[in-house]
Amino acid sequence: QVQMVASGGGSVQAGGSLTLSCVGIGNIDLYHYTFVTWFRQAPGKEREAVAAIFIRMRATYYEDSVKDRFTISHDDAKNVVYLAMNNLQPEDTAEYYCATGSPSSNLWRSPAKYSRWGQGTQVTVSS
């Protein structure tokens, strides 16, 4: 069964760092999907996109609130997408998900445009 697997979450203090990983399990090549995107969802809030990578073109996209703190990248050899998160703040606390799909670039934030989702990995930032 093909699935996306996200890992790397944890608990850190404000100002700390974490790196999340997203890998396709079951013979799924992330390169063949236009976008791999990290979303997050905090309790009582809607799921929001935070960062995306258009792997074929190495183009990256960021939500304003994480720009200059988060970096999304793709390891060709390992077929893994990473989300390096620095200077984490309590408002970054959420369940983080990775997803693959083929949205147009102006719709990369829309969850409905993604066909495969992984299970979440929890990120908790304490003040």
| Residue found under tokens 């997050």 | 40
Contact 119, 6 (CB under 8 A): yes
In this prediction, residues 1-8 reach a mean pLDDT of 81
Q: What is the pLDDT of residues 64-123, one digit of tens each?
A: 999 999 999 998 788 889 999 999 999 999 999 999 888 999 999 999 999 888 889 999
Return the pLDDT at 28.
63
Asked if pLDDT for residue 9 goes beyond 90, the answer is yes
In this prediction, residues 6-10 reach a mean pLDDT of 96
Q: What is the pLDDT of residues 87-98, one digit of tens each?
A: 999 999 999 999
In this prediction, residues 12-31 reach a mean pLDDT of 85
What average pLDDT is seen over the chain? 91
Residue type at position 125: V
Contact 50, 120 (CB under 8 A): no
Return the pLDDT at 78.
83
Using only C-alpha atoms, what is the Rg of the chain? 13
Rounded-to-integer distance, Cα 41 and Cα 112, Å: 15
Q: What is the pLDDT of residues 48-65, one digit of tens each?
A: 999 999 988 889 999 999
Return the pLDDT at 23.
87
